[in-house]
Structures are given as structure tokens and as C-alpha cells.
């Protein structure tokens, strides 16, 4: 059991779930976000700070033996917003980790690093990225930061390319990309107990029969996702049909591929 596990983005969708479901991993959960996170439970410390604030992030990381980095901009936005949360924010986080004992990091990357691959293609983690916007580019950057800090300083990171981590799949694309909360939790348990993690890229999807991503390279991690989106097939197939040329039908990144470049 860790002494202190930091979860960034703790006020967000995944952070709120992680806060409830991962308290067994550490004596203390240090939760952080740019907005308040509600009432602190007895085992929680709350720190409100902006990931773009280097001094604050250094203080935030001090004393933590693990980090689940969920904080930042999580959809396509203007470059300036993405730069603050995801570019400078990741720099600040890795620098703080380097200065404070290299705590193991889970970096919440995204399927939008490979969003322009067609849904007809099965992917391995070593294939070139094909980001579908500035958000996806910021996640490619985060992955590169993780690799550089691993090669240069021995920093360990689980680069988790999350598909769609929600209670259940709610459209056809999510039948392939769904990561159940239970499978997310079992993955975090493995990441923080496996003796050697290195800097592994992990496809964050459940054992979906119609999935696109090949996780066979991480057998050593001992993670066995149990859920399969097929149990929701009837619900999803009851939705109105989508045009054959819609981005959510053609591309792995779905509608993000059709987003404009947003300007503030």
C-alpha cells in the first residue's frame, strides 16, 4: 500500500470515480483540481491548483509515492487552453516528479492520439500516432515527455490511451472503445503493484469483442479486463442509424476528427 497517492483532475468525471474506487491503494489520497472537490473524506487531502503553475505543482507532488494524472483539458479546445493544462501542465508534473523521488505515474492519454486511423484497422501500440486535433497532439506530447523522462531519469509511467471510460457504452463507436470502471480499477491495482513498470503504453479498453486495439504486448502486467460491451449491444443497436460517411462511423477518434481549430 502506498502512503500517499495523488489524483489530479479529481473533480472531473474519471477523477470522481477514481476517488471513490481507489482509496484502498494508499493511506492518503491527495486530490487536486483547478476547481473545488467538495467535502474531503477523512483519508483525503484536497489541493486546488492550476497545473500551469509550476511552483504549485511542485508542492503538490512533494510527498506522493504515486500519481494518477487525469487533470487537464479533456476535449478539443483552443490551443491556449490546451497549452496551459496539457503542455505546461505535463511539463510541470514531470519536473515535480523528477525533483521528488520519481513517483510512478499513470498518464491519462487518449484514443485521440490515433484518432485518424479508420475503424476498420486493428492497432498495436507501436504504430505511428495520427492525432485528430490539438487535444490529441497534447496527448502525443505527454507520451513523449513520459518516454524522455523514462530514458533520461528512470521515471516510470503507464501511458494509458483511454478509449471511453464511462458507466456504459452509449453509441456504436463506444462499443469498441469502452473501458468499464471495474476494468479501470483493476488496471490501477496492477500498475501500482507490478514490480517493474517501465514506460508502457496501454490501450485503455475493456475486453470488447469488437475492439480495435491489441494489448498483447503487456501480458507481463497481469491485467485481465473482464467486461465486454456486447452486453449493451441491443441498447446501442436500437439507436437511430448513422450515415456511412459520418466521422463517428469512419474514424477511431470519432467526431473529434471533424472539429475545427478553435480560436478564443
Answer whether 60's CB lies under 8 Å from 26's CB. Answer: no
Cα separation, 188 vs 184, in Å, equals: 6
- Options 67-75, 118-126, 151-159, 234-242: segment touching ligand NAI (CB under 6 A): 67-75
Q: Which residues contact 214 (CB under 8 A, 6 or more apart)?
A: 122, 123, 124, 125, 203
Residue nearest to ligand NAI (CB): 12
52 binds ligand NAI (CB under 6 A): yes
Per CB under 6 A, contacts with ligand NAI among 87-146 are: 89, 108, 110
Binding of ligand NAI by 22 (CB under 6 A):
no
From 27-35, 59-67, 206-214, 232-240, give the range in contact with ligand NAI by CB under 6 A.
27-35
Look up 141 and say whether it is catalytic.
Answer: no
Is 176 one of the binding residues for ligand NAI (CB under 6 A)?
no
Catalytic residue among 135, 149, 181, 251: 135
Q: Which of 96, 146, 158, 162 binds ligand NAI (CB under 6 A)?
A: 162
Please identify which residue in 29, 64, 82, 84 interacts with ligand NAI, judged by CB under 6 A. 84
- Choose between 38 and 118: whose C-beta lies nearer to ligand NAI: 38
* Min CB(127)–ligand NAI separation in Å: 18
Would you count residue 225 as binding ligand NAI (CB under 6 A)?
Answer: no
In this chain, which of 34, 97, 114, 236 binds ligand NAI, going by CB under 6 A? Answer: 34
Q: Which residues bind ligand NAI (CB under 6 A)?
A: 9, 11-15, 33-35, 50-52, 70-74, 84-85, 89, 108, 110, 162, 164-166
Amino acid at each position: 500500500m502506498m502512503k500517499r497517492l495523488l489524483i489530479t483532475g479529481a473533480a472531473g468525471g474519471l477523477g470522481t470515480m477514481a476517488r471513490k474506487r481507489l482509496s484502498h491503494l494508499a493511506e492518503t489520497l491527495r486530490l487536486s483540481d483547478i476547481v473545488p472537490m467538495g467535502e474531503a473524506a477523512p483519508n483525503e487531502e484536497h489541493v486546488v491548483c492550476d497545473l500551469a503553475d509550476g511552483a504549485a505543482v511542485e508542492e503538490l507532488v512533494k510527498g506522493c509515492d504515486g500519481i494518477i494524472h487525469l487533470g487537464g483539458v479533456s476535449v478539443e479546445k483552443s490551443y491556449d487552453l490546451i497549452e496551459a493544462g496539457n503542455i505546461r501542465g505535463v511539463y510541470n508534473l514531470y519536473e515535480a516528479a523528477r525533483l521528488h523521488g520519481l513517483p510512478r505515474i499513470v498518464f491519462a492519454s487518449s484514443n485521440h492520439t490515433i484518432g485518424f486511423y479508420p475503424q476498420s484497422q486493428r492497432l498495436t501500440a507501436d504504430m505511428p500516432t495520427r492525432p485528430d486535433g490539438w487535444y490529441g497532439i497534447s496527448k502525443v506530447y505527454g507520451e513523449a515527455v513520459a518516454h524522455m523522462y523514462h530514458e533520461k531519469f528512470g521515471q516510470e509511467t503507464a501511458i494509458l490511451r483511454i478509449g471511453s471510460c464511462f458507466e456504459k457504452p452509449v453509441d456504436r463507436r463506444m462499443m469498441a472503445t469502452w473501458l468499464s470502471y471495474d476494468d479501470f480499477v483493476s488496471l490501477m491495482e496492477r500498475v501500482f503493484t507490478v514490480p517493474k513498470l517501465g514506460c508502457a503504453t496501454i490501450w485503455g479498453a475493456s475486453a470488447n469483442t469488437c475492439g480495435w486495439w491489441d494489448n498483447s504486448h503487456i501480458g507481463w502486467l497481469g491485467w485481465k479486463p473482464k467486461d465486454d460491451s456486447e452486453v449493451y449491444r441491443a441498447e446501442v443497436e436500437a439507436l437511430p442509424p448513422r450515415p456511412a460517411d459520418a466521422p463517428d462511423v469512419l474514424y477511431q477518434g470519432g467526431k473529434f476528427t471533424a472539429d475545427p481549430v478553435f480560436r478564443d
